[in-house]
A and B are shown apart, each in its own frame.
Chain A
Amino acid sequence: DVKVTQSSRYLVKRTGEKVFLECVQDMDHENMFWYRQDPGLGLRLIYFSYDVKMKEKGDIPEGYSVSREKKERFSLILESASTNQTSMYLCASSPVGVGNSPLHFGNGTRLTVT
């Protein structure tokens, strides 16, 4: 069974802090994704990666960056956290071609920025 593990379930950070959200998958999937989920807005794609050291901007990349140094690990970085980044963050992976294969999600990190 595919396992996508996010390092923290709940996180509280202060405005201006640098925040790292870590995600690890154990199925050798090519693609990895970071979404945020907010009430009334659904899941929105922040960044995704096709391969090691590759990254693509999603729909809302502003204020975020990512790192993929190893195939199994995809990190989301908030360079200077702001209150409007308070959200549920979901990491996901898929083998190839999201049109043909399901996304496997981690159980999420609820980030609160105060």
Chain B
Amino acid sequence: RKEVEQDPGPFNVPEGATVAFNCTYSNSASQSFFWYRQDCRKEPKLLMSVYSSGNEDGRFTAQLNRASQYISLLIRDSKLSDSATYLCVVNIYNTDKLIFGTGTRLQVFP
């Protein structure tokens, strides 16, 4: 079983739609969680950290469910520019290791 699992997609949604991605992790010692965004043929960039109480950054909302070991990313009012691959990333307690999921591809169409 992969340490971090994501649905690869693609998720094809119209502009203005709300879309959500989940990511499950297997190591209960995971302590920090992130969403990175990777545009086609570009490097990954941090989108947002995920906090225990959930957090929002504009149209993006991240949630953490430790009991069920998953994190989620909700995008409201999708824009064409949101088209990218979204990587779920987990840091294991007391290590400097980041475990990357394989990513979920989002395609927003007009």
A residues touching B (Cβ–Cβ < 8 Å)? 31, 35, 40-45, 48, 50, 58, 90, 97-100, 102-103, 105-108
- As a 0/1 sequence over residues 66 to 110 of chain B, the CB contacts with chain A under 8 angstroms (1 = contact) are 000000000000000000000100010000111011110000000
Taking a contact as CB atoms closer than 8 A, the residue among B31, B42, B45, B102 that contacts A99 in the complex is B31
Does B14 interact with chain A (Cβ within 8 Å)?
no
B98 touches A98 (CB 8 A): yes
Assembled-state Cα–Cα distance A100/B31 (Å): 10
List residues of B whose CB falls within 8 A of some A CB.
4, 8, 31-32, 34, 42-46, 87, 91, 96-98, 100-103
Question: Can you list 13 residue pairs at the A/B interface with Cβ under 8 Å?
Answer: A35-B100, A40-B8, A42-B4, A42-B100, A42-B102, A45-B98, A48-B96, A58-B97, A90-B43, A98-B32, A103-B44, A105-B43, A108-B43
Docked-complex contact A103 and B102, CB < 8 angstroms: no
B44: A residues at CB distance < 8 A? 43, 90, 103, 105
List of A residues within 8 angstroms of B34 by Cβ: 102
In the complex, which of the residues A43, A58, A99 contacts B91, with contact meaning CB atoms closer than 8 Å? A99
Chain A residues near B97 (CB-CB < 8 A): 45, 58, 98
